[in-house]
Homo-oligomer: A and B are copies of this chain.
Amino acid sequence: MKPYVEMTVDELNQELTSLKAQYKKVQALGINLDMRRGIPCQEQLDLSMGMMDVLSSASDLTCDDGTDCRNYGQLTGIEEARELLGDMMENNPKDIIIYGNSSLNVMFDAVSRAWSHGVMGNTPWCKLPEVKFLCPVPGYDRHFAITEFFGIDMIPVPMTPTGPDMDMVERLVREDEAIKGIWCVPKYSNPQGISYSDETVRRFARLEPAAQDFRIFWDNAYGLHHLYDHRQDYLIEILAECKRAGNPDLVYKFSSTSKITFPGSGIAAMATSPNNMEDIVTFLRHQTIGHDKVNQLRHVRFFKDIHGMVEHMRKHADIIRPKFEAVTSTLERDLGELDIGTWTTPLGGYFIMFDSLPGCAKSIVALCKKAGVKMTPAGATWPYGKDPNDSNIRIAPTYPSLADLKTAVEIFTLCVRIASAKHLIEQKQAQ
């Protein structure tokens, strides 16, 4: 089939009639599938059931340093967990704080702390006339939701295949003291699944922000989340790079085991410089008597060390790789010749990004919904939910079964074709 844009209005109308007939048939099937969020599937969760066995009533819940994990204390986490997550995050255990079960909560806290108490002695953000954040777009909706919730002004920065547009980032942070942070998912990014290049990371570490309390919010959520054994993205470790560049305090780095063990019952962590650490621990001391150490110990005993964790991630990859491949191969098969969309083919992470013709994303998602396939809302990948091109759609392939996923993607491509044909017909008629 030739590209839609090369079709005449008559050809497009003919195509649309045929597509609509297919759509009617699909609707009649009463399908109900959910591809909205990046959620591990049951088979993935089953991989970690062994974690329920590593501690029993006969276990000694004491750490190597004598800490009784059952009792109060150990504000920054047990040493064993700091070592394990240190290896996972490629950071010194000394630079790591182990938190509770949600890295989103850690990021929210970081914004909230800066809001109420300021960063390392600087004016609390709540006392400033305006606070701005840079938001690489498309990006992660829950990041944007946090900054929006605090009334922080969000400035979109375009993503490129090597990361955010660094010329723009460098210029903006240098010129505007109100810019206090930037949201980054540097590896297997949400939603593109791309990883920042060496140059991008090096330029991040060498930023010269006007604001002393500017911080890079480096959400390395998918550090070990490769799909392949031999084709993997590599990311320069940002804390070490910042130290090398003479900017040791520039980064808050976040991670968690949410998509390694159980999303609701993992452990989250932050890595940062000793100065930031001191600032944060002062806060933490008032905020809690400590996080769940038994769960920290459970993770350590389950994985034993980083090798156990890497081995475990291979099993995840084996489950979700076919799903990613099913999505991209179906997109290629159904849309490859039509020039009505582009998509990414990531080597890891949880998402595939699809870009439709401008002005079609909302219609596509709405059509999918009416056919029983729930997608992430169009626009969600942009601050305030506003995609100026109305083209970006996030595909989350992990949760449905492979069979369901194939059905869902076929419905998706059908909807892309319908929306695109309609759109082009309108365009051509308006000309």
Contacts and interface: CB of A to CB of B under 8 A. Distances in A.
Interface stretch (A63-71, A154-162, A165-173): A63-71
Contacts of A57: 49-50, 52-53
A355 to B, nearest CB: 27
As for how many copies of this chain the complex holds, the number is: 2
A288 B102 contact: yes
A108 B286 CA distance: 8
B286 A149 contact: yes
Interface string A115-156: 111000000101100000000000000100110011000000
Nearest to A146: B286
A interface bracket (residues with beta carbon within 8 Å of B):
35 or more
A262 B126 contact: no
A119 to B, nearest CB: 15
Interface in A276-301: 283, 286-295
A126 B69 CA distance: 37
A295 B55 CA distance: 13
Contact of A68 (B42, B102, B145, B287): B42
A56 interface: yes
Contact of A292 (B37, B39, B101, B286): B101
Interface of A: 37, 39-40, 42, 45, 48-50, 52-53, 55-57, 59, 61, 68-74, 100-102, 104-105, 108, 112, 115-117, 124, 126-127, 142, 145-146, 149-150, 262-265, 283, 286-295
27 contacts: A39-B71, A40-B71, A42-B68, A45-B68, A52-B55, A52-B56, A53-B56, A53-B57, A69-B265, A70-B263, A71-B262, A71-B263, A72-B263, A100-B101, A101-B291, A102-B289, A102-B291, A104-B288, A104-B289, A116-B126, A142-B286, A263-B289, A264-B293, A265-B294, A265-B295, A292-B292, A295-B295
